[in-house]
Amino acid sequence: MKSLQDPVTALRGVGPKMADNLATLNIKTVEDLLTYFPNRYDDFAPTNLETAVDKQKVTVHGTIVSEPMMSRFGYRRTRLAFRLMIGHNVVQVVYFNQPYLKKQVIANHDVTVLGTWNAGRQEIQGTKLLSNNNQQEMGAIYPANKQVHQATLRKLIRVAYNSYSDVIATLLPISFRQRYQLLDRKTMIHDLHFPVDGQAAKMARRTAVYEEFFLFQLRLQAIRRAHRQKDGQQILYNNDELRDFIKTIPFELTRAQKRVVNEICRDLRSPFQMNRLLQGDVGSGKTIVAAIAIYAAVIAGFQTALMAPTEILAAQHAQKLAKVFERTHVNIGLLTGSMNAKQKKMMLQGIKDGSINLIVGTHALIQDQVEYANLGLAIIDEQHRFGVHQRQQLRMKGQWPDVLAMTATPIPRTLAITSYGEMDVSVIDELPAGRQPIKTTWLKGNQSEQALQFLKGQLAQGAQVYVVSPLIEQSETLDVQNATDLYQEFAEYFAPKYQVGLLHGRMDNEQKEQVMKDFNANHLQVLVSTTVIEVGVDNPNASVMLIYDADRFGLAQLHQLRGRVGRGKRQSYCLLVADPKTEDGVRRMKTMVQTTDGFVVAQRDLELRGSGDVLGSKQSGIPDFKVGDPVADLKILQIARADAGDLINTPGWDEKDENQPLVYYLKRHELTTHFD
């Protein structure tokens, strides 16, 4: 029985050596070969010469009606001419300096000529000459490499199609195909590789994109359902008690905050394990949302955990939450890697006996020795900083605790749909009222003095300032050196009026914390730093962020850095000093100046870098799509997602005959699919 899952060696002419070569393109099965999509086509659609203008690029199909006439002139220069009949017209065709084409010029043969139209002489100056043995107007061009050449791919795909086309089953349900006028799979594969014209190729691609997204979403949502069916905890808190707590918060929650609190609370009460991503720009107020969820779980009698990526951040959270929970019976414990054995033992004891009901810490929280009494809710802050594996470990602690992952890296809708399809997503898309947008300015390197003058002016008004030193790629030592040099310059420049501090990754935690404390207490007015401050540092009086060589940073990182200011009542500023050497760098600077909206920044980032890079594709599980582009084909992605959801939520869908190819497809991918 032939099957698309047959290895490529099942094809005539493919031996083990060729199979190895094909594997370098990730082609292992016949199906891989048939779904190895061209990234473009040579367009051989004919041009109408009657309407062609001078110097226009043209393609014509015709019959050679003369012998080739070859003349040589100058040093190794040749001119090859012949006459070509196109319909009822005859035109002259000339090729310069391609004498080897002469043997292709045979009277009465059909050819395709690509070239430039010379209207004055009614002549085509040719660039390419193809003998026409089929009427295809489009030639597929595949991504090839050193091991597997273009011509080989073309040949093998033809062979594969000829011997397997009769076993290509259609995967997409008929109802969806009819609704969007999509092709059956056999036609789709045929027209992708051998389209008769541009329209056919376009239709085939449209079907292929939908199919790719649909299958992907079906897999994600199947996984999500499997998760959902797992027993979780029902966290049944007293609603009035929670309301009373919310009343003690000194500000009114934004509409967006209220909405996401509701979404989270609904999950807490449900018997399934929550798996929710909370997205919100820097400063949008995720912490208080987390606090409300924690409080709900605690009054329902559960333990809670909050995991942060660094010790500084964990300590800061513990401090802030202690204040929020001041008059409650939330009992906070801080667990970090740098605690001594005795402290740690006590802490572990408290976690085990349940006397601590909010554990804040770093990834120390997920180590095996940590035994929870009854963990009901686990929250991950800055979740993109944790690996897939660590997040998974937290999900497995205790009795399937509800998990809330928070991120300040706004993920464009596109990526949220693709990579977090198995998570529910809540978005805080609104900043607390009264925040003044940060004013961002881009200065050239020779305007640094201007930046320093500006700093002086702001310092004189009582502001505090961050200075981020240039990033030296792949060398922490040089980064540290840089920051240290810059620190000394600034210390001299601002002495004796203002105090300057230094923060970098090589300092130990105690030193770091001391510097942070001094800065928060305004004992230091200027903080020179490497990107250590990127995450979570919160000093509302700091209102200027000066970033040197800003073009060396990615958009996401620049946005994070900028988010350190604009947290208080002062008008805040971000100064980018940069002389970008690439077009890309210029666009990044312009984006930063144009917008402070994290979602816009993230979308631009995605466009500039491509979806694979934005979150590091391996870690975040963003797949490499073969045909679909989650940015350009967003509409199709959204539709396919909804359709996959509709199908999988239809009771008995997997028993219908017409869906058996899909059921089989899911089974086949069950074991090889891993999304966090």
Residues 406, 647, 206: CA angle, nearest 5 degrees: 85
At its nearest, how many Å lie between ligand ADP and the CB of residue 337?
23
* 3-class state of residue 645 by DSSP: helix
Residues 420-449 that bind ligand ADP (CB under 6 A): 432
383 sits near ligand ADP (criterion: CB under 6 A): no
Give the C-alpha separation, 584 to 233, whole Å.
48
Residues 490-549 that bind ligand ADP (CB under 6 A): 538
At its nearest, how many Å lie between ligand ADP and the CB of residue 529?
18
Using the contact rule CB under 6 A, the part of the chain among 145-153, 252-260, 494-502, 513-521 near ligand ADP is 252-260
Contact status, residue 553 vs residue 401, Cβ threshold 8 Å: no
Contact status, residue 299 vs residue 269, Cβ threshold 8 Å: no
Judged by CB under 6 A, the residue of 288, 294, 330, 366 near ligand ADP is: 288
Q: Strand 402-407 and strand 358-361: pairing?
A: unpaired
566 sits near ligand ADP (criterion: CB under 6 A): no
Question: For ligand ADP, how many residues bind (rule: CB under 6 A)?
Answer: 16
**Which residue spans within 538-611 are E strands per DSSP?**
542-548, 573-577
> Residue length, the chain?
676
The sign of the torsion formed by the CA atoms of 80, 81, 82, 86 equals positive
Give the C-alpha separation, 30 to 191, whole Å.
17
At its nearest, how many Å lie between ligand ADP and the CB of residue 284?
4
Give the C-alpha separation, 147 to 168, whole Å.
28
Report the residue number, 35 or 557, with the smaller CB distance to ligand ADP. Answer: 557
Judged by CB under 6 A, the residue of 171, 253, 265, 600 near ligand ADP is: 253
Using the contact rule CB under 6 A, the part of the chain among 84-92, 184-192, 285-293, 393-401 near ligand ADP is 285-293
Using the contact rule CB under 6 A, the part of the chain among 115-123, 191-199, 282-290, 447-455 near ligand ADP is 282-290
Give the C-alpha separation, 408 to 537, whole Å.
13
Report the residue number, 315 or 627, with the smaller CB distance to ligand ADP. Answer: 315
285 sits near ligand ADP (criterion: CB under 6 A): yes
Burial of 48 (0-12, 13-18, 19+ CB in 10 A): exposed
Report the residue number, 219 or 286, with the smaller CB distance to ligand ADP. Answer: 286
At its nearest, how many Å lie between ligand ADP and the CB of residue 428?
7
Judged by CB under 6 A, the residue of 35, 112, 233, 254 near ligand ADP is: 254
**What 8-state DSSP symbol labels residue 29?**
B
Give the C-alpha separation, 244 to 322, whole Å.
18
Judged by CB under 6 A, the residue of 154, 286, 363, 604 near ligand ADP is: 286
Report the residue number, 430 or 489, with the smaller CB distance to ligand ADP. Answer: 430
For every residue of 190-225, DSSP letters joined together read: HHHHS-SSHHHHHHHHHHHHHHHHHHHHHHHHHHHH
At its nearest, how many Å lie between ligand ADP and the CB of residue 554?
19
Judged by CB under 6 A, the residue of 173, 232, 280, 630 near ligand ADP is: 280
Instruction: Tell me which residue of 586, 559, 568, 590 sits closest to 441, measured CA to CA.
Output: 590
**What 8-state DSSP symbol labels residue 69?**
E
Using the contact rule CB under 6 A, the part of the chain among 151-159, 248-256, 461-469, 610-618 near ligand ADP is 248-256
Contact status, residue 263 vs residue 426, Cβ threshold 8 Å: yes
At its nearest, how many Å lie between ligand ADP and the CB of residue 143?
41
Using the contact rule CB under 6 A, the part of the chain among 117-125, 187-195, 278-286, 479-487 near ligand ADP is 278-286
At its nearest, how many Å lie between ligand ADP and the CB of residue 246?
11
Report the residue number, 114 or 377, with the smaller CB distance to ligand ADP. Answer: 377
Residue of minimal Cβ distance to ligand ADP: 285
Report the residue number, 285 or 412, with the smaller CB distance to ligand ADP. Answer: 285
357 sits near ligand ADP (criterion: CB under 6 A): no
Using the contact rule CB under 6 A, the part of the chain among 69-77, 160-168, 238-246, 250-258 near ligand ADP is 250-258
User: Which two three-digit tokens encode residue 448?
Assistant: 């640094």
Using the contact rule CB under 6 A, the part of the chain among 176-184, 246-254, 493-501, 545-553 near ligand ADP is 246-254
257 sits near ligand ADP (criterion: CB under 6 A): yes
The helix or strand, by DSSP H or E, that contains position 299, with its residue range, turns out to be: helix 286-299
Report the residue number, 254 or 611, with the smaller CB distance to ligand ADP. Answer: 254
282 sits near ligand ADP (criterion: CB under 6 A): yes
For every residue of 91-117, DSSP letters joined together read: EEEEEES-GGGGGG--TT-EEEEEEEE
Burial of 171 (0-12, 13-18, 19+ CB in 10 A): middle
Question: Binding pattern to ligand ADP, positions 394-423, x when CB under 6 A?
Answer: --------------x---------------
Using the contact rule CB under 6 A, the part of the chain among 29-37, 82-90, 280-288, 445-453 near ligand ADP is 280-288
Question: Binding pattern to ligand ADP, positions 142-181, x when CB under 6 A?
Answer: ----------------------------------------
Report the residue number, 195 or 283, with the smaller CB distance to ligand ADP. Answer: 283
Contact status, residue 317 vs residue 537, Cβ threshold 8 Å: no
Give the C-alpha separation, 462 to 482, whole Å.
27
38 sits near ligand ADP (criterion: CB under 6 A): no
Instruction: Tell me which residue of 566, 514, 561 sits closest to 539, measured CA to CA.
Output: 566
Phi (first) and psi of residue 510, to 5 degrees = -65, -45
For every residue of 135-197, DSSP letters joined together read: --SEEEE----SSS-HHHHHHHHHHHHHHHGGG----S-HHHHHHHTPPPHHHHHHHHHS-SS
Contact status, residue 410 vs residue 249, Cβ threshold 8 Å: no
Using the contact rule CB under 6 A, the part of the chain among 116-124, 249-257, 485-493, 593-601 near ligand ADP is 249-257
Give the footprint of ligand ADP on this chain (CB under 6 A): 251, 253-254, 257, 280, 282-288, 408, 432, 538, 567
